[in-house]
Amino acid sequence: MSAAGTTSRQLGDATPEDRSTRSRAWTVTGLLVVFMMINFADKSVLGLAADEIRADLSLSATQFGLANSAFFLLFSVAAVVVGMYADKVRPTTVILIMALLWSVAQVPPAVGGGLAVLIGSRIVLGAAEGPAFPVAQHATFSWFPDHRRNLPGALVTLGITLGVITAAPGLTWIIDHHHWRTALWVLAAVGLLWAVAWYFLGGTGTHRTADAPPGGTATPTGTATPTGTATPTGDTATPTGAPESAGTRVPYRRIFSTPTWLAVTAAYFTCYWGVALMLVWLPSYLHNGLGYSSAQAGRLVVLPWVMGAVVLLTQAGVTGWLMRRGVSTRWARGGVGGAALGLGGLVCLGVPLVDGAGAKTALLAVGLGLAGSYAAVAATTVSELAPPARASGALGVMNAVVTTAGLAAPALVGVMVDKQGTDGYQNAVVITGAMLLVGGLLSATLVDPSRDRARLGT
């Protein structure tokens, strides 16, 4: 590139091709935000219809908890398998298949059947949704260089929050005025419409690595020079005879044994435990434990998610601001994320110490909202840590470990509610608070991607 061209790029000029690529990048990011919205609307619908489903199918709290845990039975396995597979195949295709399966899985319980049909449907849905977050993050990151990934990564994570915020009131109304099975039909239709949009507008970018895309070299604007050749899947391949990168030779076991991967996975596990609690049991806690009507509970259940959205965007802004000023990601990601997680835990531990439904609801909203923002930190940290050829697999395995919290939390809380009555809800919040506090401390003290990248030799 000439000196004049370099100067032009540094001054912020962009060619029409650059502008088109950026526009496409944000279009894909927007679609993936909606993708995650649908994903979490699918997850939340049973929690919103908990009382109706339990009455309709004559289920105890333990049985209902097990039905929700069934969602995560193959969730983790699918996350690992697809995460590894996504390193070799375009995420675009994987995402399309997942979206179609989501719609198909909603049909059997929408048609009819009892507990067995519900459990079978949730197992299939969980298997199809398990890889969603890591693959969506990986596809998003493929459009942006590492130093610009905080905002799009946070927006995709924000889709989780927006899914509940936008779906909860509408699905609650459908459940109250029509039937919980009708809500499943609505979700199936929305998933199908999204799949059509993705087929025509989705795609994979060229930034498939932390520094430069495969088969190309980074320019001052972060785009790639076309030194690679197109593969049958549409990705860019390394030219024949090019040396294999060091990252492709790093075994997964070395990545998984780093303090950063272990700590960020443990911290994210505690975050996901809180998310599972919100999805499955928070509507019932608000209705049966704190005395709100089902309609009020359907509106109030969005409060932790609204708080989480604010925290998520604030956290992304603070992290980006710190990184632009040269602060290491040990503090910009591990420290900031750990602080939010630990503070959320402390707030949850305060729930039994206050009286009144309003005060308890406020603490639940703040505590669980603060904790729910850690997903973006976890994804960007592992993406930074892992060598390019191992990024999707490392994200997939992390997600698999983390989402076992969804397998355990609903079932455990169901047993607690059956044995302790409404006190079981509050005691579950206390357990969650203690876990979040530990997770925050681990993140703040052990996460250091730069240190562990150096140890991996990448």
Cα–Cα–Cα angle for 48, 49, 51, rounded to 5 degrees: 115
- pLDDT tens, per residue, the chain with 458 residues: 444 444 444 434 456 556 677 888 899 999 999 999 999 899 889 999 999 999 999 999 999 999 999 988 888 788 777 766 666 777 888 899 999 999 999 999 999 989 999 999 999 999 998 888 878 888 888 888 877 887 888 888 888 878 888 889 999 999 999 999 999 999 999 999 999 999 999 887 777 544 333 333 222 223 232 223 233 223 333 333 334 455 557 899 999 999 999 999 999 999 999 999 998 999 999 999 999 998 899 899 999 989 988 898 899 889 989 999 999 999 999 999 999 999 999 999 999 999 999 999 999 999 999 988 898 899 899 989 999 888 878 887 898 789 889 999 999 999 999 999 999 999 999 999 999 999 999 999 999 999 999 999 87
Would you give the DSSP letter of residue 130?
Answer: T
SS (H, E, C) 17-43: HHHHHHHHHHHHHHHHHHHHHHHHHHH
Model-level pTM? 0.76
- Whether the CB-CB separation of 73 and 407 falls below 8 Å is answered with yes
- Whether the CB-CB separation of 307 and 366 falls below 8 Å is answered with yes
* pLDDT score recorded for residue 52: 94
Cα(304)–Cα(300) distance, integer angstroms: 8
Closest CA to 308 of 161, 417, 450, 143: 161
Residue 434 CA: distances (Å) to CA of 67, 73, 346: 26, 25, 8
* pLDDT score recorded for residue 16: 55
CA atoms within 13 A on the CB side of 173: 6
Given the structure tokens 């997600």, which residue do they identify? Answer: 399
* pLDDT score recorded for residue 3: 44
* pLDDT score recorded for residue 110: 95
